[in-house]
Chains A and B, each alone.
Chain A
Amino acid sequence: MLRYIINRLALVIPTLIGITICSFGFVRLIPGDPILALSGERGVSAERYAALVTKYGFDRPIWEQYFRYIGQVIQGDFGDSLATHRPVIEEFFKLFPATVELALFALVFAIVLGIPAGIFAAVKRGSWLDQGLMGTALVGYSMPIFWWGLLLIIFFSGYLGWTPVSGRIGLQFFFKPVTGFMLIDSLIAGKPDGFVSALRHLILPTIVLGTIPLAVIARQTRSAMLEVMGEDYVRTAKAKGLSGRRVIGLHALRNALIPVVTTIGLQIGVLMGGAILTETIFSWPGIGRWLVDSIYKRDYAVVQNGLLIVAVIVMLVNLVVDLLYAFINPRIRVQKS
């Protein structure tokens, strides 16, 4: 087990190097000039431009720029945003709780609906319920997030008036953030109405962000269940005369959930990617929107360091999931060790 953990941790270093190369390289692959982008519509004089190029080190060879960047990151210096002049790390942690709050809700939404949908579809294999659920899952998986979000806003917020259009909480509620999680902060501030408002604001973004993971989880659960239900031990359980509910709940589902848990772990990355669009549509002040804005502004410091921090967090979550998984499933740690 220890060897497995060491091996797994050793993989972190090359992965991290890969991430830094990608985050550093991607932002430079975007067409456009960071200095011109930041100087706005007016442009900038040739002298000023040259001075800024030197100041930011953009005139240095690309490898030199990379090693300078790595040197700063190793020292824990994530730099200042070229646009706002604020430290990148400070902005990140101001916005990150909003993304986590939304992503958690979306994940819970996807799990709570996805697993039962997958089980029902598997149990009623070939029925109209199965086809209906899987058809819906396919539509959900294929739906462009931007279009889906706008559709929900126009229908539920605009036409029916049931949900707020965007934002994290009603504008009448104003309290200083403590944790950054609006639901918790509203309770800390003693504003139960604010809690309800924050909850209402979460409904549409949760649905939009959770739709793709929901579809993936439902499809994965169905196929895992179908596989497990064909196993000998399930047949034996049935032969023993156990009720259908016990066979599915106790024997089939527990084993079928192993690949589903892996799939859920992988959804963290999907949620981070989806958050970029969801946050933009719903004016959700999280890191997704922050990164998109920074790409438009060619704010190299934010894009490369923001991407790096997000990638490291996703990597760490996956690492923890892998380690936990090894604890849960003895076969894995035996195989690996």
Chain B
Amino acid sequence: MKLMKSLLAATAIIALAVGAAQAKQLIYCSEASPKHFDPAMATGGNDFDASARTIYNRLVEFKHGETAIEPGLADSWEISADGLEYTFHLHPGTKFHTTDYFTPTRDLNADDVVFSFERQFKADNPFNAYLADSQYEYYEAMAMPSYIKEVVKVDDLTVKIVLNSPNSPMLANLGMDFASIVSKEYADKLQAEGKAADFAAKPIGTGPFQYVDYQLDSVIRYAAFPDYFKGKVALDDLIFAITPDTTARTQRLLAGECDIMSYPNPTDIASLKDNPDLVVLDQAGLNIGYMSYNTTVAPTDDVEVRKALSMAINKPALVEALFGAGNAEPAKNLIPPTMWSYNAATPEQEYNPEKAKEILAAKGVTEIELWASDRARSYNPSFARSAEIIQQDWAAVGVKATINTVEWTQYRIDGAKADRPGAFQIGWGGDNGDPDNFFAVLFGAAAIGTQNYSIWNNAEFEDLIKQGVLETDPAKRAEIYTKAQEVMTREEPAFLMAHSTIYMPMSKKVIGYTMDPLAMHRFDNVDVAE
């Protein structure tokens, strides 16, 4: 009897131990609280990590670690010869999450896809303004209202997106977070119950993880979705431990309170790499730090002055001093080398202070305004520091730069003004891996007043970026954007500074994490060692 009891006890302990070992949990120390869980209305990377990449899927998805597209909720698609109709065939039997607040009665179908888009552009859609201040910033920012004419249900598993004009980046746009597919059935239910606001607070998707709980500003909990259409993921539980302070985030990782963390301090990278319990992954970021010259205001309205000012800057020394050795690559094109259509033939920026001094003296340039902001960005960890270094380089060629430091939000307003003088430091992180997302968004004439801080309107460049959007052949598009880079090198609307490296430190027990060029944090392919 005693032996029997001991055996039973031992079995129970083993069962418990096995049970505990089977529950695979990953704790991610994230950098900020999500605004909510509706990716169509979000703008921040942390919002998307917490919703779009965990809870939802899109018709097409970005491949892990790449910017290439692969099937998502759509198994396949066709594009009409005129480039105006995109027909998607949905994966049959795709389930929505079942939670304690919603039990779906049907699988995903074309109604959900139509609803997911129409709520973003049709004012009469009941969910267009389901929150008092509903805004679909990304849908608008990606110029979708001008491109998408209608989204049509062909049959339950076929949906057609009709465009007003051809748009080559469209597929990449559909892989972006704002294009996440939500449940119409859930929206209808909430609408009927008068609880529409819950749509952003208690999300229902088809994604790899389902929402469990969010303690405001503290912890988000997810559980693996057992009926995920791509098969249940390896993890059982995913926890976002929201830790805004970078030092605290690093200490939590070191103390084992997190398994993986976002955005480490560049100065901590070396010591984190030396830690035997950690692995630090890195990847060239899909980003660019640069300094826009106002091409419409003297003295930087003169291309020779712009070129001379750039020539006076010791770019490799600047980049090393700013980011630390090996943490960034000096830029010679607007797009990073990892992006298709990168023009490897672009010559390195000439560093020739003597020649610069001569030109600037001849042009009578003795003073310039140099803009800096107070916020650290991944593409520039300190605008103030880079401004000081550039100021010294310019002083050496006889140009006195006055550093104008402005608070971040006001900075961008001032910078976008057409009469803003001088050189304005700024940068960009790509949204979808398409070159158009850099060239048109940052230097297109349509972006004057918003993102085109050079107030640059070059007819040749404009023509090229318009061709780039209309052209569907990838090889021809690459050729077009290669030429666009040549125009930029010739015209120097901006001093292109650096492409920074992105780091992701994690415990050695984390298996399979892939660095993402679009700076997304995805955990559907991650496992943890027993």
Inter-subunit contact A150/B247 (CB<8 Å): yes
Inter-subunit contact B137/A158 (CB<8 Å): no
What string of 1s and 0s marks CB contacts (under 8 Å) between A166-183 and chain B? 111001001011000000
Q: Does A222 contact B (CB under 8 A)?
A: no
Inter-subunit contact B137/A44 (CB<8 Å): yes
Q: A42-B43, A42-B451 are in contact. Are A84 and B406 (CB under 8 A)?
A: no
Q: A171-B241, A174-B221, A280-B244 are in contact. Are A166 and B409 (CB under 8 A)?
A: no
What string of 1s and 0s marks CB contacts (under 8 Å) between A58-98 and chain B? 00000000000000000000001011111000010011000
Q: Which of B216, B241, B255 contacts A158 (CB 8 A)?
A: B255
Interface residue count for B (Cβ, 8 Å)? 52
For this complex, into which size category does the number of interface residues on chain A fall? 35 or more
What string of 1s and 0s marks CB contacts (under 8 Å) between B414-437 and chain A? 001000000000001100000000
Interface 9-mer from A7-15, A186-194, A225-233, A285-293:
A285-293
Q: Complex formed: what's the CA distance from A82 to B36 in Å?
A: 12
Inter-subunit contact A165/B27 (CB<8 Å): no
Task: Write 29 A-B pairs (CB below 8 A) sorted by A numbering.
Answer: A31-B409, A32-B408, A33-B410, A33-B413, A42-B137, A42-B141, A43-B451, A44-B450, A83-B35, A84-B36, A85-B200, A94-B216, A95-B216, A95-B217, A153-B251, A158-B254, A165-B248, A165-B257, A167-B218, A167-B243, A168-B218, A171-B27, A171-B239, A171-B241, A280-B245, A283-B245, A289-B244, A290-B217, A293-B244
Inter-subunit contact B132/A80 (CB<8 Å): yes
Q: Does B449 contact A (CB under 8 A)?
A: yes
Q: Which residue, of A150, A168, A174, has the highest number of chain B Cβ atoms within 10 A? A: A174
Q: Does B44 contact A (CB under 8 A)?
A: yes
Q: Does A282 contact B (CB under 8 A)?
A: yes
Shortest distance in angstroms between A67's beta carbon and chain B's nearest beta carbon? 21
Shortest distance in angstroms between A198's beta carbon and chain B's nearest beta carbon? 12
Q: Which residue, of B27, B200, B409, has the highest number of chain A Cβ atoms within 10 A? A: B409
Q: Does B407 contact A (CB under 8 A)?
A: yes
Inter-subunit contact B416/A283 (CB<8 Å): no
Q: Which of B137, B248, B255 contacts A39 (CB 8 A)?
A: B137
Shortest distance in angstroms between A157's beta carbon and chain B's nearest beta carbon? 6
Q: Complex formed: what's the CA distance from A39 to B44 in Å?
A: 9
Q: Does A48 contact B (CB under 8 A)?
A: yes
Specify which chain B residues have a CB less than 8 angstroms from the CB of A165 in the assembled complex: 248, 251-252, 255, 257
A residues adjacent to B (C-beta < 8 A): 30-33, 36-46, 48, 52, 55, 80, 82-86, 91, 94-95, 150, 153-154, 157-158, 161, 164-168, 171, 174, 176-177, 280-283, 285, 289-290, 293, 298
Shortest distance in angstroms between A40's beta carbon and chain B's nearest beta carbon? 3
Q: List the 10 closest A-B pairs by CB distance, nearest first.
A: A40-B43, A32-B409, A285-B218, A285-B217, A85-B131, A31-B407, A43-B450, A37-B409, A283-B243, A165-B252
Specify which chain B residues have a CB less than 8 angstroms from the CB of A31 in the assembled complex: 406-407, 409-410
Q: Does B267 contact A (CB under 8 A)?
A: no
Q: Complex formed: what's the CA distance from A293 to B252 in Å?
A: 21
Specify which chain A residues have a CB less than 8 angstroms from the CB of B73 in the assembled complex: none
Specify which chain B residues have a CB less than 8 angstroms from the CB of A38 in the assembled complex: 43
Inter-subunit contact B216/A164 (CB<8 Å): no
Inter-subunit contact A171/B138 (CB<8 Å): no
Q: Does B197 contact A (CB under 8 A)?
A: yes
Q: Complex formed: what's the CA distance from A38 to B471 in Å?
A: 34
| Given A46-B449, A94-B216, A293-B32, 17 other A-B residues pairs in contact with their CB atoms under 8 A | A31-B406, A32-B408, A41-B43, A42-B43, A43-B416, A80-B131, A85-B131, A85-B197, A86-B197, A153-B248, A158-B251, A161-B255, A166-B257, A281-B245, A283-B248, A289-B217, A289-B244
B residues adjacent to A (C-beta < 8 A): 27, 32-33, 35-36, 43-44, 131-135, 137-138, 140-141, 197, 200-201, 213, 215-219, 221, 239, 241-245, 247-248, 251-252, 254-255, 257, 406-410, 412-413, 416, 428-429, 449-451
Q: Which residue of A lies closest to B27 (CB)?
A: A171
Inter-subunit contact B242/A283 (CB<8 Å): yes
Q: Which residue, of A33, A39, A177, A283, has the highest number of chain B Cβ atoms within 10 A? A: A283
Q: Complex formed: what's the CA distance from A30 to B410 in Å?
A: 10
Q: Complex formed: what's the CA distance from A297 to B84 in Å?
A: 39
Q: A95-B216, A289-B244 are in contact. Are A48 and B140 (CB under 8 A)?
A: yes
Q: Complex formed: what's the CA distance from A201 to B137 in Å?
A: 39
Inter-subunit contact B407/A32 (CB<8 Å): yes
Q: Which residue of B lies closest to A90 (CB)?
A: B216
Shortest distance in angstroms between A84's beta carbon and chain B's nearest beta carbon? 5
